[in-house]
C-alpha cells in the first residue's frame, strides 16, 4: 500500500512541478514537439496561410512549375500544390489520430487483461495476436481495404482489426512484470477487485509506455495510409491526401518530380517529428 501511494505521489509531484523544465531538458522531445506543433499549426491555419482552395481547378493552367503565384506549382488539374499539401496534413493527421483511438484502447486493455490474469485469457489473446501477426501486415490491410471499399472507412476498419496487436503485446509483457511486484500482491490481499486494480493502479503505470508505442505506431499508420494511396485504394478524391498525391505525381517523376517528392517529404517530416516525441517521452520515462 505504501508503495502505491509513494508512486502516485511521486508522479503528481513531478507533473505539477516542472513539466516544462523536463521537456526543455529532453532535446528530442523539444525538437519533435516543435516540429509537430508547427505541422498542426499549418494544418489548422491552412485557410489563412493559403489564398487558394484545395479543390479549386484550373484546367488551363495545369502542371505549372513553381512560381511566385504557385509556390510549389500546380498539379494535373491545375490545383495549387502547396495548398493541397497543407490541406492534406489535415486529412492525414486527423485520420492518423482517429484511427489510433480504438486500437489504442482495446490493445492496452486486452494487454493488461492478459498480463494481469494470465492463464486462459492470456492464451486466448496470444492465440489471436499470433494468428493475425502470422499474416504479412499489408496482406491484411489490402484485403480489408478491398472488402470495405477504398477510403477512410477501410483504413478505420483495418486498424480496428489489427492495430491493437502491437499495444496488446507490449502492455501484456509490462503488466505481467508489474503483477509480480509486491504492491499488486498487497492490493490483492486487501481484496481489491481485479478490474479496479487494473484500471486504478496498473493503467497509470503502463500508460507511459503505451504512449511511446503510440507515437511510433502513428508513423506506421501514416505510412500505411500513404501506401494504400499508392496502391490506389486510399482516400477518395477530391480530398487531398499525401499518398494519392505521391502516386498521382509518380507519372510525372521525370518532368515534374516535385509533385510526388513534396508530399513524400511531408510524410517523412511527420515521421521525424513523431518519433522524436516518442524518443523524448521514452527518455523521460526511463529516467523516472
Site for another protein, residues 38 to 77, rule: CB under 8 A? 55, 57, 59-60, 62, 76-77
Name the minimum Å distance from CB 51 to another protein.
18
Name the minimum Å distance from CB 260 to another protein.
8
- Indicate the helix (H) or strand (E) that contains 122: helix 119-134
> Which residue in 186, 213, 218 sits closest to 201, CA to CA?
186
Name the minimum Å distance from CB 134 to another protein.
4
Interaction mask 102-141, another protein, x per CB under 8 A: -----------------x------xxxxxx-xxxxxxx--
- 222 vs 191: CA distance, rounded Å: 44
Name the minimum Å distance from CB 199 to another protein.
23
Give the one residue of 142, 160, 186, 203 binding another protein; rule: CB under 8 A: 142
251 φ/ψ sector (left φ>0, alpha ψ -120 to 50, else beta) = alpha
Interaction mask 18-37, another protein, x per CB under 8 A: ----------x---------
CB 104 within 8 A of CB 167: yes
Residues in 150-189 at the binding interface with another protein, rule: CB under 8 A: 150-151, 162, 165-166, 169-170, 172-173, 176
> Which residue in 181, 197, 170, 177 sits closest to 108, CA to CA?
170
Q: How many residues bind another protein (CB under 8 A)?
A: 80
Neighbours of 6 (CB within 10 A): 11
CB 43 within 8 A of CB 89: yes
CB 253 within 8 A of CB 260: yes
Per-residue burial over 124-140, b = 16 or more CB atoms within 10 Å of its CB, e = otherwise: ebeeebeeeeeeeeeee
* DSSP designation for 200: I
Residues in 205-264 at the binding interface with another protein, rule: CB under 8 A: 216-217, 219-224, 226-227, 230-233, 236-238, 243-244, 246-248, 250-255, 257, 260, 264
Taking the least distance from each CB to another protein, the nearer of 143 and 185 is 143
Taking the least distance from each CB to another protein, the nearer of 115 and 197 is 115
Taking the least distance from each CB to another protein, the nearer of 47 and 264 is 264
Taking the least distance from each CB to another protein, the nearer of 20 and 134 is 134
Give the one residue of 1, 24, 105, 147 binding another protein; rule: CB under 8 A: 147
Taking the least distance from each CB to another protein, the nearer of 119 and 287 is 119
Alpha carbon separation from 146 to 131, 175, 222, 229 (Å, rounded): 20, 36, 18, 13
Taking the least distance from each CB to another protein, the nearer of 198 and 246 is 246
Which residue bears the cell 502513428?
218
Give the one residue of 146, 195, 200, 285 binding another protein; rule: CB under 8 A: 146
Taking the least distance from each CB to another protein, the nearer of 72 and 215 is 215
| Phi/psi of residue 273, nearest 5 degrees | -55, -50
Half-sphere CA count of 261, side-chain side, radius 13 A: 9
Taking the least distance from each CB to another protein, the nearer of 6 and 253 is 253
Amino acid at each position: 500500500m505504501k508503495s502505491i501511494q509513494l508512486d502516485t505521489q511521486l508522479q503528481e509531484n513531478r507533473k505539477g512541478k516542472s513539466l516544462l523544465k523536463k521537456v526543455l531538458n529532453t532535446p528530442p522531445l523539444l525538437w519533435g514537439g516543435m516540429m509537430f506543433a508547427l505541422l498542426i499549426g499549418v494544418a489548422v491555419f491552412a485557410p489563412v496561410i493559403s489564398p487558394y482552395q484545395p479543390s479549386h481547378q484550373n484546367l488551363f493552367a495545369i502542371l505549372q512549375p513553381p512560381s511566385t503565384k504557385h509556390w510549389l506549382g500546380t498539379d494535373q488539374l491545375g490545383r495549387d500544390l502547396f495548398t493541397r499539401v497543407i490541406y492534406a496534413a489535415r486529412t492525414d493527421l486527423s485520420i492518423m489520430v482517429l484511427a489510433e483511438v480504438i486500437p489504442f484502447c482495446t490493445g492496452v486493455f486486452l494487454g493488461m487483461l492478459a498480463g494481469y490474469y494470465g492463464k486462459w485469457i492470456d492464451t486466448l489473446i496470444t492465440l489471436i495476436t499470433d494468428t493475425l501477426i502470422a499474416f504479412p501486415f499489408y496482406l491484411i490491410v489490402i484485403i480489408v481495404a478491398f472488402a470495405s471499399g477504398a477510403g477512410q472507412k477501410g483504413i478505420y476498419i483495418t486498424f480496428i482489426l489489427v492495430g491493437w496487436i502491437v499495444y496488446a503485446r507490449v502492455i501484456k509483457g509490462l503488466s505481467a512484470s508489474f503483477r509480480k511486484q509486491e504492491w499488486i500482491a498487497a492490493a490483492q490481499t486487501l481484496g481489491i477487485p481485479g478490474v479496479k486494480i487494473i484500471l486504478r493502479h496498473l493503467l497509470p503505470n503502463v500508460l507511459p509506455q503505451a504512449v511511446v508505442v503510440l507515437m511510433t505506431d502513428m508513423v506506421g499508420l501514416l505510412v500505411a495510409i500513404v501506401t494504400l494511396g499508392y496502391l490506389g485504394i486510399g482516400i477518395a478524391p477530391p480530398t487531398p491526401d499525401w499518398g494519392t498525391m505521391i502516386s498521382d505525381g509518380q507519372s510525372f517523376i521525370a518532368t515534374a518530380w516535385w509533385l510526388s517528392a513534396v508530399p513524400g517529404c511531408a510524410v517523412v517530416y511527420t515521421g521525424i517529428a513523431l518519433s522524436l516525441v516518442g524518443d523524448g517521452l521514452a527518455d523521460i520515462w526511463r529516467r523516472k
